[in-house]
């Protein structure tokens, strides 16, 4: 079963969640600061969420500037934004088997734990 986490090593929330759900050597780990997500990966995320906007970290400090420079006319514009800077991806992102979990909401974290436990 595929087990991968996309995270930011400088993000305390990512570190806390990874520890809380028990990320170990069975997980492939991709630090998006040093190994940014690719267009193929973002397209894969989209297949699970059905929305590029759902993948965007709306609290990213740089997002307001990005949206001013490039106004969003549709969901595809969010894809472009996601590929511009690693901080724009809502994180952490967990791929476990055929499921994708995006973000740090309490319900998302609980769902990750349930999926890992089987």
Structure confidence by residue, pLDDT tens digits, 108-117: 999 999 999 8
Burial letters for 22-58: b for 16+ Cβ neighbours within 10 Å, e otherwise? ebeeebebbbbeeebbeeebbeebbebeeebbebbbe
**What value does the CA radius of gyration of the chain take, rounded to a whole number of Å?**
14
Identify the three-state secondary structure at position 118.
coil
Tokens of 12: 């305390």
List the chain domain ranges: 3-117
Assign domain 3-117 to its CATH superfamily: Glutaredoxin (3.40.30.10)
Look at residues 93, 118, 113 and name the one whose alpha carbon lies nearest to residue 28: 93
**pLDDT in 10s for each residue of the chain, 118 residues:** 899 999 999 999 999 999 999 999 999 999 999 999 999 999 999 999 999 999 999 988 888 788 877 778 888 899 999 999 999 999 999 999 999 999 999 999 999 999 998 8
Does the pTM surpass 0.85? The reply is yes
Identify the three-state secondary structure at position 91.
coil
């Amino acid at each position: 079963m595929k087990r991968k986490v996309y995270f930011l090593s400088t993000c305390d929330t990512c570190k806390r969640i990874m520890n809380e759900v028990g990320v170990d050597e069975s997980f492939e780990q991709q630090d998006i600061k040093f190994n940014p997500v690719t267009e193929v990966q973002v397209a894969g995320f989209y297949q699970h969420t059905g929305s590029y906007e759902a993948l965007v970290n709306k609290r990213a400090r740089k997002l307001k500037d990005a949206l001013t420079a490039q106004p969003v006319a549709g969901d595809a514009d969010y894809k472009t934004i996601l590929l511009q800077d690693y901080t724009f991806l809502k994180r952490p992102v967990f791929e476990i088997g055929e499921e994708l979990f995006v973000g740090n909401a309490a319900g998302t974290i609980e769902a990750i734990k349930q999926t890992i436990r089987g």
